[in-house]
C-alpha cells in the first residue's frame, strides 16, 4: 500500500520534485516521480511481534519473524518476492518479469550449497507434510527437527533413508512429549515399511543415548474413544479402571494402546453400551486377541463384575464358586 509521506515537501535528489512516497509493504521511501529510493527501511509488515524483558515490561522494538529448527535455514534466509511490481507499484513489463523470474530461480538454487543443507531441506519438507497428516503440535515438530539435526551432526544419515530417519525422529519426539502416536501410524503415513522405521528408531536411540519414557495408557484413551464414538460415561469409567491398574502396576510392560482399548471395552460392558471388539480394535490399532487377553488380566486383578454375555464373548464362563475357567474358542 502506497501513501504520501508526512515530509512530502522534501525534494528528490535526482529529479528535484517534492513527492515523497512510502511503500507500506516494504517500508521503503522513494520519489513518486522518478522512483529514486531515499531510505530503505525493510521491516516485517506482518503481525506486530514485540520482545519482553525479564521484568515483563513491553519493549517497543520489533522482533520480526521467529526462527524455527524445522526450517533448513532456521527462517533466516532472504528471498526475492513474488510481487511482480516495481518501486512505484506498477506491474513489470514482460521482458523484466522474465528476468526477475530467472533471477528468483537462481537465487533459490544458490542458497543450497552443501549436501547437509539439501538433506535438511528434503527432510523438513517431509516433516511439514507429516505434521498435517498426523495432526502434530509445533512442540513435537521442533523436537523432531532437533533430534534429526543431532543425527546429522553425528553423520548417521549417510547411507540411510531420509524419510526413514525423519519418521524415527518423529516417533521419538512423540514418545518424549507423551503424544499418542504409534509406530505403525507413522510408518503408514510416510509410506515406509515398519521394520525400516523401527531400525532407524533403534539406531537413534542407541547413538544419541536417549531415554524414552513409557507412554501412559490414560493419554491414549481419549483418542480411541473419540474414534470409536463412545460416550463420556464410558470414558470416565475406563479412566477409573486405568487409574486402579496403574496403582497396582498392572500396566507395566504392556502395550498402552491395548490396555486403553481393554479398559474401554470393559467400561462399555459395565455401562451396557453396545459395541464390538472389532470397532475398538480398529480405533486403537490392535488386534481383538490383544483386547481379550488384556480384559482377562484386568478382570482377575481388579475383580471387575460384568454380565454373562460378555463372558462368553471373551471366551470365559463363571461358575457359582466365582472361579474363572477359560473356554477354548477358535480365533
* Amino acid 312: pLDDT: 45
Tell me which H or E stretch contains 3: strand 2-4
Query: For 287-301, how does the pLDDT look when each residue is reduced to its tens digit (9 = 90+)?
Result: 899 999 988 888 888
Residue, of 9 and 250, whose pLDDT is higher: 250
Q: Report d(CA 317, CA 306) in Å as an integer.
A: 11
Query: For 97-124, how does the pLDDT look when each residue is reduced to its tens digit (9 = 90+)?
Result: 888 888 888 877 766 656 777 888 888 8
Mean pLDDT of the region 165-192: 88
Dihedral sign for Cα atoms in the order 145, 147, 153, 157: negative
Q: Which domains are seen in the chain, by residue range? A: 1-46 (2.20.25), 115-207 (1.10.472.10), 217-326 (1.10.472.10)
pLDDT at 75 over 80: no
Residue, of 77 and 101, whose pLDDT is higher: 101
Grid coordinates belonging to 85:
511490481
Nearest to 143 by CA among 116, 181, 112, 196: 181
Grid coordinates belonging to 229:
464414538
Grid coordinates belonging to 276:
464390538
- Phi, psi of 192, deg, nearest 5: -135, 150
Task: State the average pLDDT for the chain.
Answer: 77
Q: Report d(CA 266, CA 275) in Å as an integer.
A: 11
- Global pTM reads 0.59
pLDDT at 42 over 60: no
Can you list the pairs that 270-279 forms with residues at least 24 positions away whose Cβ atoms lie under 8 Å?
270/237, 270/304, 270/306, 271/231, 271/233, 271/234, 271/237, 272/307, 273/230, 273/231, 273/233, 273/234, 275/228, 275/230, 277/313, 279/228
Mean pLDDT of the region 30-57: 59
Nearest to 242 by CA among 224, 223, 228, 261: 261
Amino acid at each position: 500500500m502506497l501513501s504520501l509521506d508526512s515530509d512530502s515537501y522534501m525534494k528528490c535528489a535526482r529529479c528535484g520534485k517534492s513527492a515523497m512516497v512510502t511503500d507500506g509493504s516494504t517500508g521503503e521511501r522513494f520519489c513518486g516521480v522518478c522512483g529514486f529510493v531515499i531510505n530503505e527501511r525493510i521491516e516485517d509488515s506482518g503481525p506486530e511481534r514485540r520482545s519482553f524483558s525479564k521484568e515483563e515490561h513491553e519493549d517497543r522494538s520489533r522482533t520480526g519473524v521467529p526462527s524455527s529448527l524445522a526450517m533448513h535455514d532456521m527462517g533466516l534466509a532472504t528471498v526475492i518476492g513474488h510481487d511482480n511490481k516495481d518501486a512505484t507499484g506498477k506491474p513489470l513489463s514482460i521482458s523484466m518479469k522474465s528476468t526477475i523470474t530467472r533471477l528468483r530461480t537462481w537465487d533459490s538454487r544458490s542458497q543450497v550449497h552443501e549436501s547437509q543443507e539439501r538433506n535438511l531441506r528434503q527432510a523438513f519438507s517431509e516433516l511439514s507434510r507429516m505434521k498435517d497428516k498426523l495432526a502434530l503440535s509445533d512442540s513435537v515438530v521442533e523436537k523432531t527437527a532437533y533430534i534429526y539435526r543431532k543425527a546429522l551432526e553425528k553423520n548417521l544419515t549417510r547411507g540411510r533413508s531420509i524419510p526413514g530417519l525423519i519418521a524415527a525422529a518423529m516417533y521419538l519426539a512423540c514418545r518424549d512429549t507423551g503424544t499418542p502416536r504409534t509406530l505403525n501410524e507413522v510408518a503408514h503415513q510416510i509410506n515406509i515399511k515398519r521394520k525400516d522405521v523401527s531400525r532407524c528408531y533403534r539406531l537413534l536411540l542407541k547413538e544419541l543415548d536417549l531415554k524414552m519414557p513409557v507412554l501412559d495408557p490414560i493419554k491414549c484413551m481419549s483418542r480411541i474413544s473419540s474414534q470409536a464414538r463412545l460416550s463420556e460415561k464410558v470414558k470416565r469409567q475406563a479412566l477409573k479402571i486405568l487409574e486402579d491398574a496403574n496403582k497396582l502396576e498392572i500396566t507395566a510392560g504392556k502395550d498402552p494402546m491395548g490396555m486403553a482399548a481393554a479398559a474401554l471395552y470393559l467400561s462399555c460392558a459395565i455401562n451396557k453400551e453396545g459395541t464390538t471388539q472389532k470397532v475398538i480394535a480398529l480405533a486403537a490399532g490392535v488386534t481383538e486377541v490383544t483386547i481379550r487377553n488384556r480384559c482377562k488380566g484386568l478382570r482377575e486383578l481388579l475383580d471387575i463384575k460384568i454380565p454373562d454375555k460378555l463372558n462368553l464373548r471373551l471366551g470365559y464362563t463363571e461358575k457359582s464358586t466365582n472361579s474363572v475357567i477359560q473356554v477354548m474358542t477358535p480365533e
